[in-house]
Structure 1
Amino acid sequence: MNLIAPESLVFWTTAIFIIFFFLLKKFAWKPILGAVKGREDSINKALMSAEEARREIQNLKADNERILHEARAEREDMLKDAREIKNKIISDAKDEAQKQSHNMIEAAKSAIESEKKSAMIELKNHVAELSLEIAEKVVRGELSNKDKQLELVESLLGKSSLN
């Protein structure tokens, strides 16, 4: 008990489909395509942002490596400079100590020489005094006897010649 004939069913189905298709095309197709296009655009923007962030991270990593390398090189330079300054200070201190010790040695030599001269002068004076004392004692001993005095005078006169 088929009330509708199969040919009319195909006709009506096709007609409803065409009407439904035109209605969808007229009212729903543009908003659906706009939503899909908007979603596609937001996905592309997110992908570009992710790619840009990845590039930025790589640049930051490269900058960090460069800065780290520069910091290490600067630290090495500072350590090298510090070592050179330390060695220069030590060398200068050694030179100054040598100069001071040389000056002290020269001063000591000068003082020793001065003391030596002073001692020699004192010794000469002492020897001269002793010689005079001995000569005085010998002359007194020789001149204490009258016979010896006459003998001495005659001997001196005999030696000296009158011109």
Structure 2
Amino acid sequence: MDKLLNDFSFGLFVWQTLLFVLLLLLLYKYAWKPILNAVDDREEGIKNALAAAEDAKKEMQNVTADSEKLLKEARGEREAMLKEARELREKMMANAKEQAKVEGDKMIAQAKATIDGEKKAAVAEIKNQVADLSVQIAEKVLKEQLTNKDKQLKLVDDMLGDLKLN
């Protein structure tokens, strides 16, 4: 350090100081301004990017909330549609059962009517057959009784006797 103080030259010091100041001015004009501008631009870009990220985050939250809302609405609509479909199915089943019951009752009534008609026809047929048989039997009995003259006279007398009594 002593050597530095012994070799000190004031002129050299002034020149070195002047060159240092000139170097600082040149650096300020050509290097520091562009560097500072670049740093400022970068800082501004970072602020803008952060603001954009914050806006995107808010928009994403809004979109998420909207999608949740739409999802809830869709679920509600789905439930309403399922409920309506169930009610419609039950109504259709009830109508089908009622219609089947009505058709069954109608078929039963038709069967009963058919059975009654056939029963009446059968009874009438039986009556006709009984009447025919009765007439045939009576005819045979009367033929046999009328073939004999004595029997005929006795039958006529009996009939006249019955008429007088009534």
- TM-score normalised over the length of structure 2: 0.73
In 1, Cα distance between the equivalents of 2:32 and 2:159?
167
State the SS of the aligned residue for 2:99: helix
The equivalent of 1:2 in structure 2 is 6
The equivalent of 1:80 in structure 2 is 83
In 2, Cα distance between the equivalents of 1:56 and 1:62?
10
AA aligned to 1:2 is: N
The equivalent of 1:138 in structure 2 is 141
AA aligned to 2:83 is: K
The equivalent of 2:104 in structure 1 is 101
1:16-53 residue CA offsets vs partner (Å, 9 max, x unmatched)? 5xx66x948x8477655544432332221111111101
Shift of 1:136: 1.5
The equivalent of 1:152 in structure 2 is 155
The equivalent of 1:90 in structure 2 is 93
May I ask how many residue pairs the two structures share in their alignment? 157
1:4-153 mapped onto 2 (5 Å cutoff): 4=8, 23=25, 27=29, 33-153=36-156
Mean Cα deviation higher: 130-139 or 77-86: 77-86
In 2, Cα distance between the equivalents of 1:141 and 1:46?
137
1:117-142 residue CA offsets vs partner (Å, 9 max, x unmatched)? 11111111111111111221222233
1:80-139 residue CA offsets vs partner (Å, 9 max, x unmatched)? 222223222322222222222222211111111110111111111111111111221222
AA aligned to 1:138 is: V
Runs of 4+ in 1 over 6 A off after TM superposition: none
In 1, Cα distance between the equivalents of 2:62 and 2:147?
125
In 2, Cα distance between the equivalents of 1:140 and 1:3?
190
Shift of 1:146: 1.9
- How large is the RMSD of aligned CA atoms in angstroms? 3.2
- TM-score normalised over the length of structure 1: 0.75
In 2, Cα distance between the equivalents of 1:143 and 1:64?
115
